[in-house]
Amino acid sequence: MSRQLISSGSPFEAQVGYSRAVVQGDWCFVAGTTGTDPETKTMPEDVVEQGRNALKVIGKALEDAGFAFADVVRVTYYITDAAYWDVMGEIAGPVFGDIRPAASCVIAGLVKPEMKIEIEVTAFKG
């Protein structure tokens, strides 16, 4: 069973020693992804915009790995403030509304203070 490593080009991948995604057999594991704008490389202040950016990066990683959002079976959201739960529908609803993967949400501190949300997914094709 071959292992495929997917990179998004983030400098943190080489610094810390991780891949944006790892494909192992029928599984794709996408690393926790924060809300940096993939084009401008800036972090917006709005949590909804951060979440949408994270999902853009995740979508690209899934595509590069030969997967799609429809293959996602598990999603974990890490938010820095419980109040952000109130806008999760704006972030996740358009992407996961019909897919309905198993989901968890954890309130946690993130690596940098401007980060408000981090999202990770697991996808399966079998």
Residue type, 67: F
User: How remote is the C-alpha of 103 from its chain's centroid?
Assistant: 12
| Block mean pLDDT (10 aa), the chain, length 126 | 86 88 97 94 97 97 97 98 96 96 97 97 95
Please tell me the predicted confidence (pLDDT) of residue 11: 82
At 118 the pLDDT is: 98
User: What is the pLDDT at residue 113?
Assistant: 96
- Say what the pTM is: 0.94
Mean pLDDT, the chain, integer: 95
- Which pLDDT value is given to residue 48? 98
**To which residue do tokens 């917006």 refer?**
44
pLDDT at 14: 85
Q: Phi, psi (5° rounding) for residue 51?
A: -65, -40
Instruction: Name the one residue in this structure whose structure tokens are 């981090």.
Output: 118
Query: What does each C-alpha distance from 23 to 6, 53, 70 come to in angstroms?
Result: 8, 22, 16
pLDDT computed for residue 59 by the predictor: 97
Q: Which residues have C-beta within 8 Å of that of residue 114, sequence separation ≥ 6?
A: 43, 45
pLDDT at 40: 94
Number of alpha carbons in the 13 Å side-chain half-sphere of residue 45: 0
